[in-house]
Amino acid sequence: MKRLYRQAQIASEDNPKTVVGDVLVEGDRIIGVAAEISGVTDCEVIDCQGRVLLPAMFDLHVHAREPGQEDKENIATCSEAAIQGGVTGFVMMPNTSPAIDSAGIVRTVLESAQRTRIGPSIFTAGAITKGRKGEELAGIAGMKAAGAVLLTDDGFAVDNPQVLRRAMEYARDHDIPLASHCEVKELSGKGCMHEGRVSYALGLPGIPSISEEICISRDIRLAEYTGVHLHIQHVTTAEGMRTIQRAKDRGIHVTCEVSPHHLIFNHTHVGHYDTHFKMNPPLRTAEDNAALLQGLKDGCFDVIATDHAPHTPFEKNQDFASAPFGITGLETALLSLYDRFVSKGILDWGLIVKRYSAEPRRLMKLAPVPIVEGGVAEFIVFHPGGSTTFSRQFIRSKSINTPFLDQTLQGRVERVIYRGQELLA
């Protein structure tokens, strides 16, 4: 049966403004997009007045925790969380137990992904080094052949520049991007939040901005030398962003991502040692927030990515210094971006579609999913006038370590269509 989404505000990466129209879907394809579609019989009509139709989101940076950490999350619950947030494709990080560092483990996690119910599209990264120890290269060729789409030791930087150089050369030769978590561990030490006036006031050891910035500069120089496609993960500082932009201006093949929480929150939100605001890299300053937001507008950031990092309540209920780094993000990203920026006219829907839907897919050599005639039916029905409360009952992730827990944000993801099938309705 056909479905007609009537009089929606259709969003596109090519237009900062939405365009009102009808969208007709049959099977897994969009068979009509027009200001008004009439004369269609045998179809379900869905009134979308006041709703926005968005190409579905794609997240480059997700911790699904499988294998070995299924008490925090597994691929099935991670998929449910993604759908709840309007995300129909994501890339899993390899800092699992054991690490995803061989062709066999790549095949195992992808087979597990295939056993989940329909949608979303799930991909995996492979580790750069065995066990993510930074010492010996993992089997890059084998992992690529088994289906890995990205290389990263996410959570750790590769400290040895010679090891990283060789990894970049292999990645270049096998045409697979290499993603860097940028941190100089000797500078970060035992830090647990941004080093600055708030960390001093709270008596907590800090992580200085230069820990991230120095590593960004080093990895870019290695990328320039080797010719690899380098992707810098979760950039948090204005100076780090400027370093990346200078590299882009010189023609170095470097891309980068920004996370919603590094746009919205800063180190003052740690408040009275609230571990829901503990992540690595840490929340920086309000000045960094403003600079990163401007960088997103200006195009320095290629993609928005959540760094979805679930942890159990037991782990997060420890003291701030002992609790693990990381927050969840799949369910809150789109809504928080709408609530804080789009609804206030600071960002537009075109930018959200470009940076959280189209460009992440392109970076992974996948086709975007624009809402056009003949295109795949993979989109979201979003209600700007609705609201969403992130209660334990609403959250589909196994974990609830989000700063938005029990908060209500403006907007609601009403429907998620994945290849013509409604996964959320």
The mean per-residue pLDDT over the stretch 86-111 comes to 98
Give percent above pLDDT 70 in the chain.
Answer: 100
Q: Pick one of 1.10.10.10, 3.30.1490.190, 3.60.10.10, 3.20.20.140 as the CATH number of 56-363.
A: 3.20.20.140
| Residue 8 CB coordination number (10 Å) | 25
Residue 226 has phi, psi (to 5 degrees) of: -90, -25
Say which of 154, 307, 319, 348 is annotated catalytic. Answer: 307
User: What is the C-alpha to C-alpha distance for residues 171 and 223, in angstroms, rounded to an integer?
Assistant: 11
| Residue 104 CB coordination number (10 Å) | 12
pLDDT of residue 1: 82
Q: In angstroms, what CA-CA distances link 359 with 99, 152, 362?
A: 27, 19, 5
Spatial neighbors of 267 by CB under 8 A, at least 6 apart, are 193, 194, 196, 198, 199, 282, 283, 284, 285
pLDDT above 80 for 165: yes
pLDDT of residue 88: 98
Pairing between β-strand 379-389 and β-strand 52-55 as defined by DSSP bridges:
antiparallel
408-423 pLDDT per residue, tens: 999 999 999 999 999 9
The mean per-residue pLDDT over the stretch 291-305 comes to 98
CATH 3.40.190.10 fits 2-53+373-424, yes or no: no
pLDDT above 80 for 162: yes
The mean per-residue pLDDT over the stretch 266-279 comes to 97
pLDDT above 90 for 117: no
Mean per-residue pLDDT of the chain: 97
User: What is the C-alpha to C-alpha distance for residues 187 and 189, in angstroms, rounded to an integer?
Assistant: 5
pLDDT confidence of 425, banded at 50, 70, 90? confident
- Per-residue b or e along 291-311, where b marks 16 or more CB atoms closer than 10 Å to that residue's CB: bbbebbeeebbbbbbbbbbbb
User: Looking at the chain, how many residues does it have?
Assistant: 425
Q: In angstroms, what CA-CA distances link 304 with 105, 292, 371?
A: 27, 11, 20
pLDDT confidence of 116, banded at 50, 70, 90? confident
Q: What residue ranges do the domains of the chain occupy?
A: 2-53+373-424, 56-363
pLDDT of residue 313: 96
pLDDT confidence of 195, banded at 50, 70, 90? very high
The mean per-residue pLDDT over the stretch 248-264 comes to 98
The mean per-residue pLDDT over the stretch 215-231 comes to 98
Catalytic annotation present for 173: no
311-362 pLDDT per residue, tens: 999 999 999 999 999 999 999 999 999 999 999 999 999 999 999 999 999 9
pLDDT of residue 118: 73
The mean per-residue pLDDT over the stretch 371-400 comes to 98
pLDDT of residue 221: 98
pLDDT of residue 236: 98
Which H or E run includes 33?
strand 29-34
> By mean pLDDT, which of 36-40, 159-163, 184-188, 377-381 is the weakest?
36-40
